Structure 1
Amino acid sequence: MLRGIPTAPLALGLAGLIPFVWGGLTLLLPSLQGWGINNLGPRFVGPYVQLFYGSVILSFMSGVLWGYATRASGRLQSAACYALSVIPALWAFFMTGGGPVSAGMNLIWGFLGLLLLDMMFSLWRLTPSWWVKLRLLLTSVVVLCLSVGVFL
């Protein structure tokens, strides 16, 4: 599954999962949550770190898609790609209020929607050939980690 993904994007992508994994672990392990609160502060444990970081990452991914939109050809495809690229940031802005469970569920839907956009941009040959492999891996882990706060 990881074959063909360049080392730098893979390593940085995996490192970017740390706040999601950490947040999930601190929800599952009360002693780890206590350690995190005492040493890092309450903002950096449980759903708080996941929700804030998840909003940041959806916004960041809008920028990535915007960059890929610059490769689109033709006025119609370019306009569509630019319009689609802002959806993850707008989703994060409008859909992450209302408490940790609803915000977490909305982030799950946001990341799944982002994956669909990644696939569309890939089908239009605007991304590197390895892009969807990387995004499938990262999205799977993000959704799993966010699910801890939503469903457990």
Structure 2
Amino acid sequence: MSLLERLNNDMKQAMKNKEKDKLSVIRMVKASLQNEAIKLGTKELSENDELTVLSREVKQRKDSLHEFDKAGREDLVDKLRTELTFVELYLPKQLSEEELTEIVKETISDIGATSKADMGKVMAALMPKVKGKADGSLVNKLVQQHLS
């Protein structure tokens, strides 16, 4: 089942169950996917494009969550946490820190990176492998740790 079909099914279920928050998030994600398809000039997005959109949605919410938390806006923080929970349901299973560390070590040895100067090369090779499965900031932190 494609992501769009899954979203449509979940949207119908949310309507039946009168889950306004979930319905709102699903509609936002669907709109983002449709906007991306229009931007790319295609009728259907590839799985990779869908992952990109979902990752962007998660990142936006995490960034906003951080800002609202700093400003002490607990009402908005709670709302965003709920939204984030719903969006993350559509992402693939996230890698654990141990699994991610193994992938980082493997990539560093494949490239032959030895110092922080090779950070860009490592990240360029690593990010496609973990796209949608790990937070970019965590990946960045682990690469820095292993290159120092």
Scaled to the shorter chain, the TM-score interval is 0.3 to 0.5
Q: Over alpha carbons, which structure has the higher Rg?
A: 2
State the TM-score, normalizing by the size of structure 1: 0.34
State the TM-score, normalizing by the size of structure 2: 0.35
